[in-house]
Structure 1
Amino acid sequence: MNASQHIYDMMYRIQGQTQEVVLQKERIVPADVMHECLRMLAPELSGFEVREEYAYRGAMEADRAQLVEVWTNVLTNAMEAMPQGGVLIVRMTETKRKIVVEIKDNGIGMEKHQLKRVFDPFYSTKSGKKMNFGLGLSYCYAIVHKHKGTMNVHSKPGLGTSVFMQFPKPKQQHDNSVEGKG
């Protein structure tokens, strides 16, 4: 009982640390950072077809190290959902006010009851995995929210999963509406 309580306390502290993260923001090009993540994961990605679709190639203010951690985590989850290999699509698009990042796999997908708990600390759909404490997506969710973004997961059993992250677009450096008046 003492050992279980110790492990729970330790995991609770680890999870609590994600709430205390202070972002070190800098101007980054998210498409370049995502491409770096894919390059770092290249050995693990050898059995997958990877498609990169970067319609948005602009910049944003973000903590590069934290985003690398988030995207690497989501990409790793996608690979683990496709044990026999498959198609991994990474997309960046934009709306009027948001930068939209999508990481999509054609893996095993998730049931509705799993989807509801996907961001809960200590929840995992992976069985028998050593060192899997179910903190990955909880951490990712916290970091995306610290960037004033949102994170959503869409999934259907047998049809794969899409993870959507939306970040605010950077404000324009100068206001065009004032120019030319006077």
Structure 2
Amino acid sequence: MEAMMTGMINNIFFIVFPLIVYQMLATAGQRNFFVSHRFMMTVLFSVSLVLCMLFPYQFITDGYIFDLRQVPMIVGALYGGPLVSAILFLVASISRIIIGGDGMYIALLNQFVIAVGVPFFRPLYMRINRSRKIMLIFSISITSLLFNLFAGAFFFGNPIHDIVGIWIMLMINQGTIIALTALMIEHMQRQEYMYEAFLKHEKMETVSHFAAAVSHELRNPLQSIKGFVQLMKEYEYSRERQIEFHQTILREIDAAEELIEDYLVYAKPTYGQLEPIIVASEVSHVLKIMVPYANGKDVEMHTDELDESAEILIDRYKFQQALVNIIRNGIEAMPEGGKLVLTVKSSPTKVWIRVTDTGVGMTKEQVRRLGEPYFSSKLKGTGLGMMVTYSIISQMEGQILVDSEKGKGTEFTLEFANLATTKSK
């Protein structure tokens, strides 16, 4: 009994082995059992049935040797189709001929019937629900063993052993294992379908967020332009007042153009000339630009440490845009005022620009979602600024690291390759 259980467990492992390998190697989002990976799965199932044949086990009586080769053959034929079934038949037949011994011819005949007959059930099998699939594959398994029993007696004169004591137990044994195998495959496929549906939903959600953000942001300047044009059409204004209206309209058009440019930067970033820049000087320049805005929000801005030797290769203006977005977010995160500190540090291989504020901070979930379309921690924010910032830094082979705690502030770190290292290469 112990030897039988050991052999059965080995055979079960040989059957489960292809499914484990498939889960490990199949590409996420491109999984489709025995379709996207037909070659790989055919090889794995071939290995499975050969191992089952090489390591059979005694079943109930010492004189009856049994293995589970029919499981990968039937499963492969149902999920893989005629071509896979034919390949598995060739592998099983060659292996059985090499092994030799009693019952070879009935085994070859049985394998041929499985290879030819089972693929005809595939269209039906793929249409029915999971419970009916289990019933069908269980029935095919029992039928294959019944064929062995009666074909052996009819064609080769093999004596029919104890039907109750041996054959019914064989049918239950193999039928249960093949049903469990099918359940595992169906569960894997259900998970794959759910994952693919999630990816499609996520893409559609991103598109809808973009559409919402564009309409929301463009509506304000367009409505202003429309309003001034209607006023100028319906009423007579002085030349000075018309010039004032024209200037307002032009400002709104400029705002709309900047918004569209920001979206284009995210969707398909385009950069001017990449040039080596001294990071400390660029940070000081951006600091001067943002000081009036910070003063208006009662925020104190200063530098803690500026490494004058730190140098990176980047588009100067896009870098300034990204840094301005981060600083503005830090200032707006301190509605009651606070401090914002900039530092620049470097090593032989890396350059770090840190922006630290004493603002409201963010939760781990908010940090994780930074840079997503239409996500913002601000009530009236669209998330466009940080989305563009992440796109700029990423496309310039940089990285953004965020460390934040609710109520204690946030630290943004921009990490780039040190230009000295790039030059040495």
TM-score, normalised relative to structure 1: 0.82
Candidates 76, 84, 97, aligned match of 2:328: 76
Structure 2 counterparts to residues 21-170 of structure 1, below 5 A: 21-23=269-271, 24-46=273-295, 47-58=298-309, 59-127=311-379, 129=380, 132-170=381-419
The Cα RMSD (Å) is 2.4
Structure with larger Rg: 2
What SS does the corresponding residue of 1:96 show, helix, strand or coil?
Answer: coil
Cα distance in 1 for partners of 2:397, 2:274 equals 12
Shift of 1:49: 2.1
Q: Encode CA deviations 1:92-113: one digit per residue, 9 max, x unaligned.
A: 1012311001000011001122
Q: CA deviation at 1:50?
A: 1.8
> SS of the residue aligned with 1:76?
helix
Matched, 1:8 2:211: yes
Q: Are residues 9 and 63 of structure 1, via their aligned partners in 2, closer, same or farther at CA, if it must alter by over 3 Å? A: same
CA contact (8 A) 1:31 1:54 kept: no
The match for 1:18 is 266
Q: Contact conserved, 2:299 with 2:338, CA < 8 A, in 1?
A: yes
Bigger relative contact order, structure 1 or 2, given CA contacts below 8 A and separation 6+?
A: 1
Which amino acid counterpart does residue 410 of structure 2 have in structure 1?
Answer: T
Secondary structure of 2:403 counterpart = strand
Structure 2 residue matching 1:42: 3-state secondary structure:
helix
Q: Which runs of 5+ in 1 are unaligned?
A: 176-182
Aligned residue pairs, count: 168
| Secondary structure in 1 matching 2:371 | coil
2:340/2:358 contact within 8 Å kept: yes
Percent identity between matched residues is 26
Q: In structure 2, list runs of 5 or more residues that go unmatched.
A: 1-207, 216-259
CA distance in 2, matches of 1:61, 1:173: 9
Contact 2:322 2:389 in 1 (8 A): yes
2:24 matched residue in structure 1: none
Deviant stretches of 4+, over 3 Å: 9-17, 171-175
Offset at 1:9?
Answer: 6.8
Give yes or no for contact 1:61–1:170 (8 Å, CA) kept in 2.
yes
* Structure 2 CA distance for partners of 1:174 and 1:163, relative to 1, 3 Å: closer
Shift of 1:55: 3.9
Q: Could you say which structure has the higher helix fraction? A: 2
Whether the 8 Å contact between 1:37 and 1:68 is mirrored in structure 2 is yes
